[in-house]
Amino acid sequence: MIDLKFLRENPDRVRSSQSARGEDPTLVESVLAADEARRSAITEFEVLRAEQNTLSKAVGAAAKEDRLALLESSKALAEKVKSADNAKSAAEERVREILLRLSNVVEEDVPVGGEADFKVIEHIGTPRERRCTSRWRSRFQGH
């Protein structure tokens, strides 16, 4: 899986890699948009969670007559935190789902193309002559 930080810092490189592989380069935009939504959901969750922690401390320190009102607002805030946590989890799953569809980044010095485009750079040594024993020959005759 591609690192999100790398993707954020090098979107053009990932797009060109997708193109070199013959895959959809617009997938990069989808990941970046989903990541932005994920980061926003995380921030919202953390803000609500911090507010909930502050309110929880205030309930313990409040006078008896104020405590009931604080508990009611604490329950409402707990629902918001739960909702924000669910949204955060859904956003994280969406990013993961899209990221898994992205292929690994092609090295910049690797030529684009398929097997027909391969070039032999160097031969080292001499290839062995293939010998086929009678046992193998009889097993694979006609194949």
Dump pLDDT digits (tens) for 34-90: 999 999 999 999 999 999 988 888 877 877 777 778 888 888 899 999 999 999 999
Contact 90, 42 (CB under 8 A): no
CA dihedral sign, ordered 34, 36, 42, 44: negative
Q: Buried b vs exposed e over 1-34: b needs ≥16 C-beta within 10 Å?
A: ebebeebeebeeebbbbbebeeeebebbebbbeb
Q: pTM for the whole thing? A: 0.69
| Class of the CATH-defined domain 4-113 | mainly alpha
Domain ranges of the chain: 4-113
